[in-house]
Structures are given as C-alpha cells and as structure tokens.
Amino acid sequence: MVSCVCHHLVRFGHDARQRRHIRTTGLAALLAACLFAVPAQAGTLVILQSTTSTDNSGLYDYLLPHYAAISGTEVKVVAVGTGQALENARNCDGDIVIAHARDLELDFVSAGYGTERHDLMYNDFVILGPQQDPAGIAAARTVGEAMQAIRAGSAKFASRGDNSGTNRAERRLWTASGHTPDAGDSIWYLETGMGMGATLNFAVQAEAYTISDRATWLAFGNKAGHDILFEGDPNLFNQYGVIPVSPTRCPMIKHRAALDFRDWLVSPDGQTAIAAFQKHGSQLFFPNAAEAGPALVGHQGDIADRQPDTPSGMTISVN
C-alpha cells in the first residue's frame, strides 16, 4: 500500500477559496500517485463539519491528503465554531462532525442527529495575554484565580462569543470563578463573534487577554507581544469527539464513507497519524480513541499520564 503525506503551511490571512484550492490541488496529486492503491470508495466526497481549532492548527492539511491516498475519498472541511458545526449537521449539510463541546455533542446524538460519539483526541486550553501581564495572571495558582484577576483589573478580554467549544469552555470557566461577564455591561469584555484565528488577531491588536486551544496558538503566526500566561490547570482539558451524522435524519448523506473515515480516525493508523502532527517541534493533539486520555497536572502545561474524570471511547449511541 502506498502511503502519501503532504504538509501544507497554514497561513491565517488566506481566504477560504485559496485554502480550498490548495487542499484540492494537493489531493489530486496524491490520488494520481496512489492510483493503484485506491479501494472501492474512489471518487467519494465526504463533508466534515468541524471546529475551527483543528483547521486553524493545520491538522487537516496534514491528515486528509494521507487519508485520500489510502482510501480514494476526499474530505472537504467546513470549519466553523462547534455550535454552528452541529447546527449545520442538523440541517444535513455534512456527513460527519468533529467538535469539542461534549455536552452539545451528546445532545446532538441523543436527539438522533448523530449515530454515536467517539472520543478522538485531546489537548488543552491556555490563557494568552500581553507579555507585560497587566492583570498579573501568571502568578495565579488556579485558572479560577486567573479569571478573577482579569475581572478585578478590568483588563481587556477577547471572547469568541460564538457558542464554539472554546467559547463554551471560557463561559464555564467564568461561571466557576464566580462571575460571568457580559459584553453589554462590561466594557473590558469584548466579544468578536469570530473564529479562533481571527480572535487571536483581535486580541493581539487590542492587547487583550483571550483563551485559545494550544494547537491554534502554536500554529498562529502573528504572536507579536502576546504569550501564554497561564496553563496547566486540569479544568483546561480540551477533549475532541467525532460523530457520524445519522442517515435516518439525513438520508442523502454519504453515511458509509463517513463511517469509513471515522473508523480510520479512531484506528491505530489514524491515531498514529494524529500523534505525529507537530508544529515547531511540539505535538499538538494527543489521540485517545482507544483509552481514556490524561488530565492536565502542574502549572507548566505538561500533559501527564493521569485518567480524566469523564469516560472515553464510544460515549453514546442512538439508532
């Protein structure tokens, strides 16, 4: 079997049309090179509704050409916030979903829109801010203390405000810290309504704090005077799940091809490919489809070998 892997440099300023052109061009070359290794699914197109963080990090530009080469299936990514990705899938505008808001994912499956949910991989969230750290969050012992320090100092904070997985995690952290700000009455709390890459650009320009998944930050090219100021709290654990859309709800989807893609992602080969993806020498995602992924311990952002409080694997199934 021929295995072909393409690496593409992710550039946050490129428009969606150019990115689709780059991905399609790379896939065409890979399909030609692997012509005799393509199985019966050759020529199939699968629509993946996905969170923006996995796309912004460059993961799909790494994984999808490899999958196309061994399967003959092209996976087209629609990168939006998790809430919008699930809503698009409810409208039958996708065959499979990758998201990172467990409660929304379980609701999606329980309502019959997805067949089952599998844990796929994890990383962590980090709090970013100006290197001078006006709120002093680097001295915080917990993420709750960090959030309280930002609020107490009325330091500018950029929120995605888009019901994405990152936005929901941020709101959960604010609530746990004792106060949930609102853009209508907190002049320091700024909602962008944009994806992760665009929100990072805004935070850098506005000299504001923000919360990002670590993978997007590592791949981000406009760090300027911003840095990771708080990391490592177990509450910053960030789990991703994969869900095939239900053919009962959406009879016209490519369900068999979606299942094949899901099966590859959670297989040893797919999980190995996810683990191999790096930026600047750092692994961005940690596969955990087969076993529970570790939680975060310490204050340095290291991911230690400790079991999380939530179960993993196939979480829920609805026929």
What per-residue confidence (pLDDT) applies to 291?
Answer: 62
Up-side HSE of residue 39: CA atoms within 13 Å toward CB? 9
What pLDDT, in 10s, does the model give residues 234-271? Answer: 999 999 999 999 999 999 999 999 999 999 999 999 99
- Residue pLDDT, tens place only, 165-210: 999 999 999 999 998 898 777 899 999 999 899 999 999 999 999 9
Helix (H) or strand (E) holding 244: strand 237-244
Token output for 221:
């090219």
- Say how far apart CA 151 and CA 134 lie, in whole Å: 12
- Mean pLDDT of the region 129-148: 97
When mean pLDDT is compared across 8-12, 102-106, 142-146, the lowest value belongs to 8-12
**What average pLDDT does range 206-220 have in this prediction?**
95
Q: Write out pLDDT tens, residues 16-33.
A: 344 444 444 444 444 443
- pLDDT tens, residue by residue, 263-280: 999 999 999 999 999 998
| Structure tokens belonging to residue 224 | 């300027």
| DSSP letter, residue 173 | H
How far, in whole angstroms, is CA 122 from its chain's centroid?
A: 9
Q: According to the model, what pLDDT value does residue 184 have?
A: 77
Q: What is the distance between the alpha carbons of residues 207 and 84, in angstroms, rounded to a whole number?
A: 28
As given in the structure block, the two tokens for residue 126 are 């980090």
**pLDDT for residue 42:** 61
- The fraction of the chain above a pLDDT of 90, given in percent, is 71
Pair 56, 78: CB distance under 8 Å: no
Pick the more confident residue, 318 or 281. Answer: 281
Average pLDDT, the chain: 83
CA dihedral 128, 278, 280, 51 (to 10 degrees): -30
**What was the pLDDT predicted at 12?**
33
Contacts of 125 (CB under 8 A, 6+ apart): 166, 169, 211, 212, 213, 214, 236, 238
Q: Map residue 62 onto helix, strand or coil.
A: helix
Chain segment 163-172, per-residue pLDDT in tens: 899 999 999 9
Q: How many CA atoms lie within 13 A of 284 on its CB side?
A: 25
pLDDT on residue 260: 97
Domains in the chain: ranges and CATH: 16-123+236-317 (3.40.190.10), 126-234 (3.40.190.10)
Q: What is the pLDDT of residues 31-69, one digit of tens each?
A: 443 333 344 456 799 999 999 989 999 999 999 999 999
